[in-house]
Structure 1
Amino acid sequence: MNVRGRRGLSLMAGLVVLLAGCAGGAEREYAVPKTVCGVPVEESAVSPLLPPGPDLIEHKDSLSKERGHCSITVNHDGVISVTFSRVDRDYDPMDESQSYKFRNRQRVTELPFPGRGAIGDDTIMITAKCGGGGPAYLIIDVLVRKGIEADAAPKRAEFRKFAEEYTAGAKKIIGCAV
């Protein structure tokens, strides 16, 4: 190989290393939160929903006994949004009145607490029995901006794990008896 060929090869190798270094920047520079919207959540439940980036910011109302909203941004982009409210009525997430919340809605069965659920590409809604004084039901709506279009089954499982863990934790914090 001549000198010109070796220089070209060296330049190409250097460019590959440089580009690999830039692509390798896709890491989390923030700590995965131990709580989401004031509710303790295992890192393994929330981590799969969070993208890489330099900063994570939580924007939240204080966790009240009646209703609240919270969102998490990474790199100033909305990633997770959680809304909860205590209501007297048992809203069925599969009812037509709730269909506007979902794309590709499917029923969630076998929740770890009394209630009903539905999951879509980027939304999950859980209506859980609450009791303990106050309205009888707790509704949790979770929206993830990541979407679940690719590898739907594993991503829905990750999304569901987070929503179930969040709902169980919220029920404890707000004093649900059921």
Structure 2
Amino acid sequence: MVTTVGCSEEQKREYTLPTSLCGVSVPASALSQLLPVGKRLTVDEATPVPDALATCKASVDGDMVLSLEQEHRDVGASAYDIARDRFGVKQPKTAQQRSVAYSDRVAVSVVKCRGGENGDEDITIAVKVLKPAHQKESAMKDLILGYTSAFKKQQPCGKSS
């Protein structure tokens, strides 16, 4: 005779999903597929280098599960190159003419700013999921595409671009 012992309580998400990260709307449907169940979600936002770098780190029950960076950088690197060289993704998939690269754990986009207040520069957005978050390629793609679209609507390049 085989007896199966299971949990009578199903684990569930007790926290509310954030509607934005680093001041930008985030697609809740994609985010919900990545974040783990738990009781408490905290989001820490910082600008360690004003006008150059902003970071957001999401933690569930004390475990950091997602990080997001917005970084102003020199022109030139593609999202594919950044995902591969900086984050170690061997073969990232790409979208939107290689301005977006993603895998099941990392997603990167490049927003090209030309002739704006800061001259020519790129702004990269990088999202990374860490355990115990869920690694899901389609959710990472949806998250980076939705986030980048909302970011562009904020006109991050300045007046002239």
Cα distance 1:169–1:142, how it changes in 2: closer, same or farther (>3 A)? same
Matched residue, 1:32: 17
4+ residue segments displaced more than 6 Å = none
| Deviation per residue, 1:30-82 (Å, 9 max, x gap) | 11111122211232132111111000000111596432111100111111100
Contact 1:125 1:140 in 2 (8 A): yes
Matched residue, 1:79: 65
Q: Structure 2-normalised TM-score?
A: 0.78
Name the stretch that deviates more: 117-126 or 81-90.
Answer: 117-126
Matched residue, 1:9: none
Contact 1:28 1:52 in 2 (8 A): yes
- Which consecutive residues of structure 2, in runs of 5 or more, have no partner in the other structure? none
Q: CA RMSD in A?
A: 2.8
Contact 1:125 1:139 in 2 (8 A): yes
AA partner of residue 96 (structure 2): E
Q: What is the distance in 2 between the residues matched to 1:61 and 1:173?
A: 19
AA partner of residue 85 (structure 1): E
Q: Structure 1-normalised TM-score?
A: 0.72
- Which consecutive residues of structure 1, in runs of 5 or more, have no partner in the other structure? 1-11, 149-154
Identity, in percent, stands at 25
Contact 1:102 1:122 in 2 (8 A): no
Equivalenced residues, count = 152
Structure (1 or 2) with the greater strand fraction? 2
SS of 1:130 mapped into structure 2: strand
Higher relative contact order, structure no. (Cα contacts within 8 Å, ≥ 6 residues apart): 2
Q: What is the distance in 1 between the residues matched to 2:83 and 2:141?
A: 21
Are 1:137 and 2:122 counterparts? yes
Q: 103, 106, 116: which one pairs with 2:99?
A: 116
Query: What are the within-5 Å matches in structure 2 for residues 12-27 of structure 1?
Result: 19-22=6-9, 24=10, 26-27=11-12
| Deviation per residue, 1:65-112 (Å, 9 max, x gap) | 43211110011111110011112312123338942413342231226x
